[in-house]
Amino acid sequence: MIQIKDLHFAYPRQEVLFSNLSVRLEAGSITGLLGKNGAGKTSLLKLLTGLLHPISGELSVMDHQPRKREVSLLNDVFMVPEEFFFPSISIRDYVKAYTPFYPRFDHELLDRILIEFELGNERKLQRLSHGQKKKFLIAFAMATRCRLLVLDEPTNGLDIPSKALFRKILAGSLDEDQLVVISTHQVKDVENLIDKIIILDNGEVIFHQTIQEISQKVAFISGTSEEREAAIYSEAVPGGYRLMVPNGYEETEVDIELLFNAITNGHKIG
Amino acid sequence: MQTNNSFSFHRLMLLFKQKLIINKRRYPLALAAFSGSLIISFVFAQTINNFGNWSNMHYVTTFISVFVIVGIAYSAFSFPPFRSKEKSMVYLMLPATNSEKFVFEILSRIVAFIVLMPILYWILANLEGAVFHYYFPELTNYKFSFRDGFLAIVKDGKFEFWALILTLQGILFMFIAPFAGAGYFSKSPLVKTLLTFSIIMLSYFLFAFLLDKSLNLEGLHPVGKNLIFFKDGQTVIKLMGIGMVIVNLSLLAIAWFSLKEKEA
């Protein structure tokens, strides 16, 4: 679905952000895009959606060049940005004004998600809190049934129950022909949701594996200072250490935060 | 199903529908505010002219002032989403082609204004005139007509083709220049557009002055004529008309490429 090869990008009068960036993503997954501040996560999402234009290299999304912003691509791509704007109208009017542009829009799904998020159709968008606006935008994004959903920090501003709801809705509403790319710093919010991890650092993809592949290679356990010796990477936590160890122990859930710190500190898991 | 990636009339209509839904409260309010201001301006101007000295020419003069000032201001707010990054993102990702968005902006900002503004003005002028004539019978010239305005363009009952072209292009320029500026500049487009054109015009006059002085072109005047290089005034108007067409098309091209290459 997404093919990036030798992508070169820089903002005007700024240092090069991506040089020779290459990555390939297929439909049917929820991919977590991780990276430090300034690593280029949001820029990459904007390049995918045609909001930024690459300087050189190949960038193809569903066999389209996003920079051309062709309708056949735009009605199959939806981005939930970190900062967004809504006109001063009701949810009902927003739906009336925007849904005709999305041929696969699922009104029933929207109604269902809005009920789960406790958002009524008559509410004015400008009067909603930031978190409520974000929930509406996520609900709208899901209901477009776009094959590529790009979510930039989707859980920022959501309360704890809403974060759980977000995970439930996202996991339960996707089709196999859809790809979701989530950029986030709140890795705990997307644990048990994403099935693939990409880590960006210094303008390069330094890690790209599925959760299954990671689980087969390493385990994440709590341990003592003795066990720390055998760990690939460890971090002190109250009462001991969190360890990333070679597999051989029981299969564990992937601790994305620990994995991220290990990878960005130069450790490899094979 | 094959999606039309060039131009769809249906999607253009959807853009209009979307605009109307979003602004369904703002448009009536703006219309009421504009109409009210215009009627107050008429009354104020008629009071100054002591009602009896009010003529159709006053209506035309007021119309030209309002048409130019409001038209420039309205065109300068074209591409409203470009004023903020968040709005730009929504706008650029909306599934409509650049050509549909561009045509929509031209129709809603320039064509709609040029067509609707005179009609609205005519209705309000006659309405206000009729009402005030009822209470102030000394207001005898209260029926407004655009006929006098058109007579200024038409000479001896005939259209002077290039004069008409130049006039029309000049009018269009007033709208197209701020329109292009609104597409090109994200922040304070009107101020930046006026500044840009001021710099261009000043540079041109400075260049012409220096050229005139350095080459001593004054010596080239044919005896008894004020024109340099050209045979007569008609040729000058023709060339200026062609020049204005080129300038307007170039400005539209700038607006088009600003939209096409816009990033957020």
Q: What is the 3-state secondary structure (H, E, C) of B108-144?
A: HHHHHHHHHHHHHHHHHHHHHHHHHHHHCCCCCCCCC
**Which residues in chain A have their CB less than 8 angstroms from residue B4's CB?**
71
Q: How far is A247 from chain B (nearest CA, A)?
A: 44
Q: Which of B155, B187, B205 is the last residue of a domain?
A: B155
Query: What percent of chain A shows pLDDT beyond 70?
Result: 99
Last residue of a domain, one of A183, A202, A221: A202
- Asked whether the beta carbons of residue A46 and residue B87 sit closer than 8 angstroms, the reply is no
**In a shared domain, residues B165 and B140:** no
Instruction: Nearest by CB to A49, from B24, B93, B98: name it.
Output: B93
Where in chain A does DSSP place strands (E)?
Answer: 2-10, 16-25, 29-35, 56-61, 77-80, 148-152, 179-183, 196-201, 204-210, 218-223, 233-237, 240-246
**What gap in Å lies between CA B183 and CA B251, rounded to an integer?**
10
Contact at CB, B22 and A97, closer than 8 angstroms = yes
Question: What domain range is A192 assigned to?
Answer: 2-202
ipTM of the complex model:
0.91
Q: Which 156-195 residues of chain B touch chain A by CB within 8 A? A: none
Same domain, A88 and A194: yes
Beta strands in chain B (DSSP E): none
Region B166-188: mean pLDDT is 94
Same domain, B56 and B88: yes
Q: Is B6 on the interface with A (CB under 8 A)?
A: no
What pLDDT does residue B45 have?
Answer: 87
**pLDDT at residue B11 tops 90:** yes
Query: Which residues in chain A have Cβ-Cβ distances shorter than 8 Å to B98?
Result: 69
pLDDT band of B225, cuts 50, 70, 90: low
Neighbouring residues of A28: CB distance < 8 A, sequence distance ≥ 6: A176, A177, A178, A179
Judge if A170 and A235 occupy the same domain: no
Q: Are A252 and A220 in contact (CB under 8 A)?
A: yes
- The verdict on residue A231 lying in a domain is yes
| DSSP output for B139-163 | -------SHHHHHHHSBTTB--HHH
Q: Cβ–Cβ contacts within 10 Å for residue B82, how many?
A: 22
CB B80 within 8 A of CB B87: yes
> At CA A101, angle to CA A100 and CA A106, rounded to 5?
65
Residue A113 identity (one-letter amino acid): I
The CA-atom distances, in angstroms, between A141 and each of A149, B88, B185, B240, B253 are 7, 18, 30, 52, 34
Give a yes or no: residue A208 inside a domain: no
> Measured on CA atoms in the order B43, B44, B50, B53, is the torsion positive or negative?
negative
Decide: B137 and B46 in contact? Cβ < 8 Å.
no
User: Which residues of chain A does B14 touch, with a Cβ-Cβ cutoff of 8 Å?
Assistant: 100-101
The answer to whether residues B189 and B100 belong to one domain is no
Q: What is the pLDDT of residues A81-130, one digit of tens each?
A: 999 999 999 999 999 999 999 999 999 999 999 999 999 888 999 999 99
Binary contact (A84, B4; C-beta < 8 A): no
Could you give the C-alpha distances from B193 to A239, B167, B200, B201, B246, in angstroms and in order?
65, 21, 11, 12, 18
Alpha-carbon distance B25 to nearest alpha carbon in chain A (angstroms):
9
Q: Across chain B, which distance is largest between two alpha carbons, in Å? A: 72
Tell me if A172 is assigned to some domain.
Answer: yes
Of A51, A93, A101, the CB nearest to B14: A101
B92 to A51: CB separation less than 8 angstroms, yes or no: yes
Stretch B237-245: mean pLDDT, rounded?
92
Instruction: Indicate whether B100 and B61 sit together in one domain.
Output: yes
Are A51 and B22 an interchain contact pair (Cβ–Cβ within 8 Å)?
Answer: no
Q: Of B123, B155, B187, which residue is a domain's last?
A: B155
Separation CA A102–CA A74 (nearest Å): 9
The mean predicted confidence, pLDDT, of chain B is 88
Among the candidates A174, A202, A230, a domain finishes at A202
d(CA B46, CA B59): 10
Same domain, B193 and B236: yes
A to B CB pairs, distance under 8 Å: 77
Q: pLDDT tens digit string along A190-230? A: 888 999 999 999 889 999 999 999 998 899 989 888 888 88
CA triplet B69, B70, B75: central angle to 5 degrees? 105
> Which of B98, B122, B155 delimits the end of a domain?
B155
Query: What is the distance between the alpha carbons of residues A44 and A33, in angstroms, rounded to a whole number?
Result: 9
Shared domain for A51 and A103, answered yes or no, is yes
| Same domain for B12 and B126 | yes
Host domain of residue B90: 1-155
